[in-house]
């Protein structure tokens, strides 16, 4: 039996809800989590993978803050690799293939075994407020539960609708029958703007119906670190993925049946993600002879394989013919058909950077309800929302991350300041301080913040301190120690560089553009230093000039963030502001000049006007 009074209620137990609930409970708040079905806890309804470009950064940051995604992802790994190795270290990103069923079970047990946390099956249909603050929720069954803070993390379940060809049914993803149908009107009644977004997923196919000999095997990397800073072991036994391609026959079938596609005949009204288009969108929009298709395992104990790159909402008969044209899938057996899913979400510009709704104290939203897409983006929002819900209950200062501190800060600021007209996906290009926000520095940047707020454990903080000391020791040694002159001469000659006329320090060698981390490591001068600490130290030396420029830019931007905007400004009376700027500023109510400068429609000239206004007001 659940109690009738909690500090925090979390609605939903997907990737956002899990992190929100665990963070709040670990900060000593009493937490009740509502989930429509227990088997849906932490379920990967789409791609059975964690990480990827920019998303890998987020997972490492969640972990550095004391979150759960990285730890559980490591425990359920089938394969892991580092993407973008051919590019600079700022965009190196981990991506792990997951046993999605094991991951879900791990997360369910984590919730069940966390102190201060209660898990309950049920659908919340109404949120009640008193005096501008949340007070209680009402379930579809009529139960009333009070709380001082509420985190809404409904994922794609809010009024969700599954679409396959001309079939349509109101249910959740992956065959989960229950969708959350009652909460939308309650949120609208609280003044939130409701939008309709759409996403989709490819078919799941039987492993024994695939001819892998016609595909290119894609192995993982057995010699790299995992997601969590607490995981010491490497994944030495891995399952492969496979690469194949669409072809002219695939494209012909899609084009011949495009009028039957809900995306093209008007059946789907929701806005889909531009950066993850369906296969029919790819074929119709891009003039390519073929598109990459990856065949990926969904678990150790299942026959299901995921067809990455072929999400679709075409009718079942078209899907059967379309998939069978792909090399290796000629005799494919579809276990679950591809589908599109529409769902309700809000305009995240109604939120503060804490993820609290501006006009309703104690109400937080996190994940896909905020217009984002992706497990990692959802988990990051849930973590920040959960931390702040607990701090709100304890009357303690809020916890936020800036754009210069973390990818999570970029994600948050983009959503609450710029908003999004399509499902938002994090990309490295969105971060203006990529050299500072590398994956390998996540713990150095964020674990002290998490430790100060009470979320990072003593052992995690001690690990970070030890790694920081190891990096600093490596940097000091590199500045004064010299490798053997003959070895350096041989290395540079092999790399086509200019041979040194005299001995050089390791730091001087590292700064040579042709010299890599592996080249320096091979000189064996730092065999006593761990691989991760050595990589960070070498990167800090090699990119010292860029890092100094970014740090200077961060300081300059920080001055704008420190110029707070009074909450009572009547922008219609500020002389010199353009009409569009007045409207945008009045609607968003930015907290400082820095945030105001990032609002679409507010020009540099408008910022100058605001700065003059602040000086005049102060005098």
pLDDT digits (tens, 9 = 90+) for 417-436: 999 999 999 999 999 999 99
pLDDT level of residue 276 (50, 70, 90 thresholds): confident
DSSP H/E element including 8:
strand 5-11
Distance CA 241, CA 578 (A): 54
pLDDT level of residue 152 (50, 70, 90 thresholds): very high
Q: How would you class 586 by CB atoms within 10 Å of its CB: exposed for 0-12, middle for 13-18, buried for 19 or more?
A: middle
N-term to C-term CA, the chain: 60
Mean pLDDT, to the nearest integer, of 55-60? 98
pLDDT at 16 over 70: yes
Count other Cβ atoms within 10 Å, centred on residue 535: 21
Q: What is the pLDDT of residue 219?
A: 97
pLDDT at 1 over 70: no
Q: What is the pLDDT of residue 130?
A: 97
For residue 297, list its beta bridge partners: 305
Q: What is the pLDDT of residue 3?
A: 82
- Helix, strand and coil percent figures for the chain, each rounded to 5: 40, 20, 40
Count other Cβ atoms within 10 Å, centred on residue 573: 9
Cβ–Cβ < 8 Å for 294, 243: yes
Distance CA 531, CA 520 (A): 12
Cβ–Cβ < 8 Å for 514, 497: yes
168 to 12, 15, 268, 280, 387: CA distances (angstroms): 23, 26, 10, 19, 38
- Strand locations in 12-154 (E): 31-35, 49-51, 77-83, 93-98, 117-121, 124-130, 133-139, 144-152
- Give pLDDT tens digits for 34-55: 999 999 999 999 999 999 999 9
Mean pLDDT, to the nearest integer, of 217-226? 96
User: Comparing 102 with 170, which gets the higher pLDDT?
Assistant: 102
Which residues lie closer than 8 Å to 449 by C-beta, 6 or more apart?
65, 399, 401, 405
pLDDT at 543 over 90: yes
Distance CA 534, CA 536 (A): 5
Cβ–Cβ < 8 Å for 391, 27: yes
Share of the chain above pLDDT 70, in %: 99
Mean pLDDT, to the nearest integer, of 132-153? 96
Domains of the chain: 5-198+343-453 (3.50.50.60), 204-340 (2.40.30.260), 464-547 (1.10.10.1800), 563-618 (1.10.150.570)
Cβ–Cβ < 8 Å for 361, 132: yes
Q: What is the pLDDT of residue 305?
A: 98
Helix 375-393 / helix 55-64 crossing angle, nearest 10 deg: 30
Q: In what order do the strands lie in the sheet with 161-164?
A: 167-169, 161-164, 339-346, 194-201
Quote the mean pLDDT of the chain.
95
Tokens read off for 605: 């000239």
Instruction: Return the C-alpha torsion angle 497, 502, 506, 507, nearest 10.
Output: -80
pLDDT at 396 over 80: yes
- Give pLDDT tens digits for 189-203: 999 999 999 999 999
pLDDT level of residue 471 (50, 70, 90 thresholds): very high
pLDDT at 490 over 80: yes
pLDDT at 4 over 60: yes
Report strand pairing: 144-152 vs 339-346. unpaired
Closest CA to 10 of 103, 120, 112, 95: 120
pLDDT at 618 over 90: no
Q: What is the pLDDT of residue 567?
A: 86
Tokens read off for 584: 């945008």
Cβ–Cβ < 8 Å for 197, 422: yes
Eight-class DSSP state of 362: T
Closest CA to 537 of 524, 520, 523, 554: 520
Helix 375-393 / helix 15-26 crossing angle, nearest 10 deg: 30
Eight-class DSSP state of 5: E
pLDDT at 228 over 90: yes
Angle at 565 between CA 564 and CA 566, to 5 degrees: 115
Distance CA 78, CA 309 (A): 19
Highest mean pLDDT among 8-12, 512-516, 559-563: 8-12
pLDDT level of residue 450 (50, 70, 90 thresholds): very high
Q: What is the pLDDT of residue 423?
A: 95
367-380 as b/e: b if 16+ CB within 10 A: bbbbbbbbbbbbbb
Q: What is the pLDDT of residue 28?
A: 97
DSSP H/E element including 341:
strand 339-346
Mean pLDDT, to the nearest integer, of 3-32? 97
Angle at 325 between CA 97 and CA 271, to 5 degrees: 60
Tokens read off for 144: 């009333």
pLDDT at 177 over 70: no
Q: What is the pLDDT of residue 466?
A: 97
User: Comparing 181 with 215, which gets the higher pLDDT?
Assistant: 215
Please report where in the chains the tokens 């950066």 appear, as a residue: 275
Tokens read off for 415: 């959503």
Report strand pairing: 133-139 vs 144-152. antiparallel
Closest CA to 376 of 148, 44, 36: 44
pLDDT at 176 over 90: no
Closest CA to 32 of 130, 125, 149, 134: 149
Q: What is the pLDDT of residue 501?
A: 84
pLDDT at 619 over 80: no
Distance CA 488, CA 494 (A): 10
Mean pLDDT, to the nearest integer, of 201-217? 98
pLDDT level of residue 535 (50, 70, 90 thresholds): very high
């Amino acid at each position: 039996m659940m109690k009738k009074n909690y500090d925090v209620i979390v609605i939903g137990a997907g990737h956002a809800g899990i992190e929100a609930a665990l963070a709040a409970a670990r900060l000593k708040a009493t937490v009740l989590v509502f989930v429509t079905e227990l088997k849906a806890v932490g379920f990967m309804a789409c791609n059975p993978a964690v990480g990827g470009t920019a998303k890998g950064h987020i997972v490492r940051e969640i972990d550095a803050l004391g979150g759960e995604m990285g730890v559980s992802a490591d425990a359920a790994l089938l394969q892991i690799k580092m993407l973008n190795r051919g590019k600079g270290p700022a965009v190196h990103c981990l991506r792990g293939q997951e046993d999605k069923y094991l991951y879900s079970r791990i997360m369910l047990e984590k919730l069940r075994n966390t102190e201060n946390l209660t898990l309950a099956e049920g659908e919340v249909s109404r949120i009640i407020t008193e005096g501008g603050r949340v007070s209680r929720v009402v379930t579809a069954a009529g139960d009333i539960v009070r709380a001082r803070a509420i985190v809404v993390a409904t994922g794609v379940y809010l009024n969700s609708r599954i679409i396959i060809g001309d079939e349509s049914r109101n249910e959740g993803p992956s065959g989960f029958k229950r969708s959350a149908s009652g909460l939308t009107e309650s949120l609208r009644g609280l003044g939130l703007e409701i939008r309709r977004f759409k996403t989709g997923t490819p078919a799941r196919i039987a492993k024994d119906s695939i001819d892998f000999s016609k595909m290119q095997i894609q192995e993982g990397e057995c010699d790299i670190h995992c997601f969590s800073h607490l995981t010491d072991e490497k994944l030495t036994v891995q399952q492969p993925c496979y690469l194949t391609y669409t072809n002219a026959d695939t494209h012909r079938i899609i084009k011949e049946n495009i009028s039957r596609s809900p995306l093209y005949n008007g059946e789907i009204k929701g806005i889909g993600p531009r950066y993850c288009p369906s296969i029919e969108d790819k074929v119709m929009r891009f003039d390519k002879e073929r598109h990459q298709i990856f065949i990926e395992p969904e678990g150790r104990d299942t026959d299901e394989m995921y067809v990455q790159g072929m999400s679709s909402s075409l009718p079942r008969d078209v899907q059967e013919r379309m998939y069978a044209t792909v090399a290796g899938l000629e005799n494919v057996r579809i276990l679950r058909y591809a589908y599109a899913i529409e769902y309700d979400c809000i305009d995240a510009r109604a939120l503060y950077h804490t993820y609290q709704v501006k006009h309703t104290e104690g109400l937080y939203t996190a994940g896909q309800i905020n217009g984002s897409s992706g497990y990692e983006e959802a988990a990051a929002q849930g973590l920040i929302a959960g931390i702040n819900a607990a701090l709100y209950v304890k009357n303690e200062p809020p916890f936020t991350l800036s754009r210069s501190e973390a990818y999570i800060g970029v994600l948050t600021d983009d959503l609450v300041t710029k908003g999004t007209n399509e499902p938002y996906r994090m990309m490295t290009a969105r971060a203006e301080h990529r050299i500072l926000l590398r994956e390998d520095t996540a713990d150095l940047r964020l674990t002290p913040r998490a430790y100060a707020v009470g979320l990072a454990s003593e052992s995690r903080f001690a690990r970070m301190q030890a790694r920081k000391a190891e990096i600093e020791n490596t940097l000091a040694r590199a500045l004064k120690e010299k490798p053997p002159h003959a070895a350096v001469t041989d290395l540079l000659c092999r790399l086509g560089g200019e041979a040194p006329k005299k001995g050089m320090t390791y730091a001087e060698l590292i700064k040579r553009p042709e010299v890599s981390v592996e080249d320096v490591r091979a000189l064996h001068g730092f065999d006593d230093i761990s691989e991760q600490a050595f990589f960070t130290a070498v990167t800090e030396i090699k990119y010292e000039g860029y890092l100094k420029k970014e740090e200077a830019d961060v300081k300059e931007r920080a001055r704008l963030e420190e110029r707070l905007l009074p909450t009572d400004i009547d922008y219609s009376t500020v002389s010199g502001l353009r009409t569009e700027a007045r409207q945008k500023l009045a609607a968003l109510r930015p907290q400082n000049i820095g945030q105001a400068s990032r609002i679409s429609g507010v020009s540099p000239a408008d910022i100058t006007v605001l700065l003059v206004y602040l000086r005049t007001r102060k005098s």
